[in-house]
């Protein structure tokens, strides 16, 4: 087989493998944010001040992102005793989140589920559905509860 034929054959067989890298297991492509129709956006009035808002500095936001991706990675489904509970625990909006800045190099991020957001009321609370992470300013998880 000539060098040219070998190259063509390798390209035909191997090309799709390299081009399909985004579909390999374990790869995650962030979902683009959905935009509301223009008719809905014209109804929005922005506040004059964000003084009363929840403020996260850049390192706190980075710590929150690291903790959320460790706690509930995109495309991961938590295990639960029934399907409705599993769907609820898979939703990021199920969790109340607290970020505590201990110092410039240490942040604690806590996730606590609110199953009532999914219309679920349990007689016995789930004790292991939340988590607390200690994250340094470099974005490393130092410890987890």
With contact defined as beta carbons under 8 Å apart, do 73 and 66 qualify? no
Tokens of residue 17, six digits? 């493998």
3-state SS class at 119:
coil
pLDDT digits (tens, 9 = 90+) for 33-59: 788 888 988 898 888 998 888 888 899
Q: 89 CB contacts (<8 Å, ≥6 apart)?
A: 78, 80, 113, 129
CA distances from 82 to 22, 112, 121, 145 (A): 32, 19, 13, 25
The structure's pTM equals 0.70
DSSP state of 51: T
Q: Can you tell me the distance from the alpha carbon of 49 to that of 51, in angstroms, rounded to the nearest whole number?
A: 6
pLDDT digits (tens, 9 = 90+) for 95-134: 999 999 999 999 999 999 999 999 998 888 787 889 999 9
């Amino acid at each position: 087989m000539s060098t040219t034929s070998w190259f063509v054959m390798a390209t035909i067989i191997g090309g799709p493998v390299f081009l399909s890298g985004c579909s390999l297991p374990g790869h995650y492509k962030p979902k683009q944010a959905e935009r509301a129709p223009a008719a809905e956006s014209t109804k929005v009035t922005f506040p004059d001040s964000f003084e009363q808002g929840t403020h996260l500095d850049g390192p706190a936001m980075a710590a929150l992102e690291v903790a959320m991706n460790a706690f509930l990675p995109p495309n991961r489904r938590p295990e639960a005793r029934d399907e409705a509970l599993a769907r609820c625990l898979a939703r990021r909006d199920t969790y109340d989140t607290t970020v505590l800045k201990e110092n410039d190099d240490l942040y604690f991020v806590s996730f606590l589920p609110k199953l009532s957001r999914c219309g679920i009321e349990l007689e016995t609370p789930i004790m292991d559905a939340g988590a607390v992470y200690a994250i340094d300013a470099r974005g490393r998880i130092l410890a987890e509860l």
